Amino acid sequence: MPVCVGTGGELNGAVARAAEVADIVELRLDCLEGGELEAARGRLAELQRSARLPFIYTLRPAEEGGRRDLPAEERVRFWESAGPLLADGNGGASRLVDVELGLLESTHGPRVLQALEGLTIICSHHDFEETPEDLGSLYERMKRTGAGVLKIAVRARSITDCVPLLSLLARARREGREMIAVAMGEAGLLSRVLAPARGAYLTFGSLDSGQATAPGQVGARELRELYRVRNLGAGVGVTGLVGSPVGHSLSPHIHNAAFDARGIEAVYVPFEVADVSAFVRRMASPRTRELEWNLLGFSVTAPHKVAVMEHLDSVERTAAEVGAVNTVVVEGGGLRGFNTDAAAALKPLRERTELRGARVAVIGAGGAARAMLWGLKESGARACVFARDAARGSEVAAQFDAETATLSDANFGSFDVVVNATPLGTRGEREGDTAAVAAQLRGARLAYDLVYNPRETRFLKEAREAGCETVGGLSMLVAQASEQFKLWTGAEPPVDVMRAAAEKRLRSVA
């Protein structure tokens, strides 16, 4: 866990908090202001002894993410004065110093190596803009420095940027090299979770979301408790959520709790995917993927539920008729698509109303709307599609023998049920939006929002103001996740555990 504070007086408290969760503490000395660096120099060894944990000492330049810009000569002089103090006494192997590759390759390199004799050096390289094409040559340069640990941290612009980084980690493991591999940014979360299981020396987690020291860095407690990184082995089964955005999803909390409850060594990770074709080709399909991993399957959410279908080897009947896939299973050397949304979407409605003959307005024309329309048709309900894109709405309606109407100035007073099957109202940028307001909903008996995070959406608030009975999307989410769990593992899902995990997460972000 990185500790990044501005004054020496804050170090003791920050280190103590980090030591409650972390296995290794990184002291980001470049965060110290002005004269605070020199003032803290003599206290570093004692600080480590009091924490009783391995420490990484880091004094990073601004171009590699340092909080203030210190010239190379000044950094070298600091290591020359601090190095002997840090190496004094036992435990040199548990005292690590992060030195950037550029400094070790410069004319200052010999001085730095001499100053840090007796300590373990991490040779690091950080690229906050992109993932360089030739990581292999960078790795070879780092090996030549003689450092005990090699660290490469790059910016992942897409999830496929994790592939060369994790492949390089596998190479380091074969060669007996200690390595830290981090893909920064939301698209790189996979690397932070899986790297330890794939032989990485460590992974980084912050004290909390407000104290992250790199893009995409998640909390240490989240890594340990949600993703259970300390319990994952090399053969861990991997599942995840393919979509964009996916950061708001409750699915990691639901599925990881289920895996833990059933004692299954598997993990569920958000996969921030912009290009679903590239993801399937390079990471998912057993025939073409470039990453060796035990991928069990994955969930699919907006905007990929329809687009993913052309990249699968087979699609089961319901998903084919719905025209959307929300679940993919690695099966028989290929990828098979399923739709667990359709049955799950109808379950909360069946518990509250008779659907045969009911008039149901469905707002939206995407994958979630298609699943709902398929179920309504099977149940004998009379559905009407309302979509901003009238042409698309008409096309979808025709496929499920539904009526269609324009969304602008729509009035839902004559409907028994109104369903929001759009992402409007989802936590984040669209949280304040709604598919319909109270004036439009007045007269309808029941309003059903498929959005589940937040639990109390604006659509549901508007519906209650209009006098409607309301149903949120959490029940559907848990129902479809339960079926996914069964498809991936063959085990009976712990439904109560899954619901409790979802509710706990919703309370924590409310």
CA distances from 182 to 3, 169, 205, 314 (A): 18, 10, 11, 34
What is the Cα Rg of the chain in Å?
26
At 179, is the secondary structure helix, strand, or coil?
A: strand
Cis peptide before 454, with omega less than 30 degrees from 0? yes
Cis peptide before 164, with omega less than 30 degrees from 0? no
Whether the CB-CB separation of 292 and 255 falls below 8 Å is answered with no
Instruction: Give φ, ψ of 451 to 5 degrees.
Output: -70, 135
* Cα angle value 107/109/111 (rounded, 5°): 100
Q: List the catalytic residue out of 143, 151, 305, 504.
A: 305
**Amino acid, res. 467:** G
List CB contacts of 230: < 8 A, sequence separation 6 or more.
196, 224
Indicate the length of the chain as a whole number. 510
d(CA 204, CA 501): 25
CA distances from 23 to 18, 56, 77 (A): 9, 11, 29
Torsion, Cα 494 496 498 499, to 10 degrees, reads 160
State whether the Cα torsion 37-41-46-52 is positive or negative.
positive
d(CA 97, CA 48): 13
Cis peptide before 303, with omega less than 30 degrees from 0? yes
Torsion, Cα 268 269 270 274, to 10 degrees, reads -110
Asked about 504 being catalytic, the answer comes back as no
Tell me the two tokens of residue 62: 């601004």
Active-site annotation, residues? 305
